[in-house]
Amino acid sequence: MSPPPPPLGRGRRRAAQAFDEALDDADLMAARTALVQGRWQNARSLLVHTGDDWDRRGHRVTVLARESSCAAWAREWLLAEPESADASVLLALAQVRRALHGKAKPVRAREACQAAATRAPADPTPWLGLFMLDCAVGADQDVVRGFEAVRARYADHHHAHHLMVARLAARRTEAGPDPLHEVYDFANWAAEQAPADSPLAILPVIAHAERYRVLAAAGHESADPAASGHWTGRRARQVMKAAFDWWLEWELEGHPRRLIDLNFLAHAKFCEGRGAEAAALFHRIGRHATPAPWSYPDRDPHTAFAAARAGALGTA
């Protein structure tokens, strides 16, 4: 006799807690649903209309590529349209995803990325795929080379800068809470060289959170981010104020990955003890929580986000 189904209420709670990497991109969600059902034409239309909005293209391709059936349907698309750059890049990122999960050989993923890059030389997305591989398994020189390849095609690439910060943050763990760590220099440089309205202005906050992740995992910081003191030092306060002031002035509603930045900024403000500022950010985030940084260093992100949101909004 088969076991009974789970209670409806429990199922609803689990569904409500699910993190959606598509964030608030309704068109992407629709194309992803169709792709899972074997209808790749929706993904084709989505990527055609995305054009050379490189941050949006990178976001959409990486989210589509995370679906387990993506590689198979991208191959079918390529059979129908052998010269399609969009099909090629989707297959490439799907192969990267499989390689990162041990389901495909990295060399096959690299070959797919190189083939996609050949079809669309100006597109940074195939190089983003190669960079993701390098960040996971490559040597430092490979990482630098991959990052520069993405920047050569789009200097302000949001996802690539986040990956670079995460990689740099893991260097010299033994140095402990060093305010002069290289990840801070990189983040400050990137923020300064970007245009005034670029979300890379938030990158120093990302760097601070990624460094906390590494230090806490190594035992150099408290596992409770709000109690660690990592967000209350003078430099940390300056970084947070500059980022929050930038957000108040620019608040880029149209950027495809802005909700990732908002989650990092809300996390930082909550850990800093700035409840009113955190509350404003939680209102903007709404239901679009992201696993990082709420999971740092080894926490349940659902619980951490809910507790911080309730504390900031006074609903605890």
pLDDT band at 316 (very low <50, low <70, confident <90, very high): low
pLDDT band at 15 (very low <50, low <70, confident <90, very high): very low
Residue 13 has pLDDT above 90, yes or no: no
pLDDT band at 192 (very low <50, low <70, confident <90, very high): very high
Percentage with pLDDT > 70 across the chain: 94
Q: What is the pTM of this model?
A: 0.93
At 179 the pLDDT is 81
At 8 the pLDDT is 39
pLDDT band at 221 (very low <50, low <70, confident <90, very high): very high
d(CA 28, CA 45): 11
Mean pLDDT across the chain? 92
The answer to whether the CB of 132 falls within 8 A of the CB of 96 is yes
Q: Which of 315, 316, 314, 310 is nearest to 289 (CA)?
A: 310
At 176 the pLDDT is 79
> Alpha helix (H) ranges present in the chain?
8-17, 26-36, 41-50, 54-65, 70-80, 85-100, 106-119, 125-137, 140-153, 158-169, 182-193, 203-217, 234-250, 258-272, 275-285, 291-294, 301-313
- Give buried/exposed letters for 228-266 (b at 16+ CB in 10 A, else e): bebbeeeebeebbebbbebbeeeeeeebbbbbbbbbbbb
Residue 4 has pLDDT above 80, yes or no: no
At 2 the pLDDT is 35
Which of the two residues, 252 and 92, has the higher pLDDT score?
A: 92
- Give buried/exposed letters for 65-98 (b at 16+ CB in 10 A, else e): bebeebbebbeebbeeeeebbbbbbbbbbbbbbb
Residue-wise pLDDT tens digits, 231-290: 998 889 999 999 999 999 998 889 999 999 999 999 999 999 999 999 999 999 999 999
At 177 the pLDDT is 84
Residue 9 CB-density burial (10 A; 0-12 exposed, 13-18 middle, 19+ buried): exposed
pLDDT band at 17 (very low <50, low <70, confident <90, very high): low
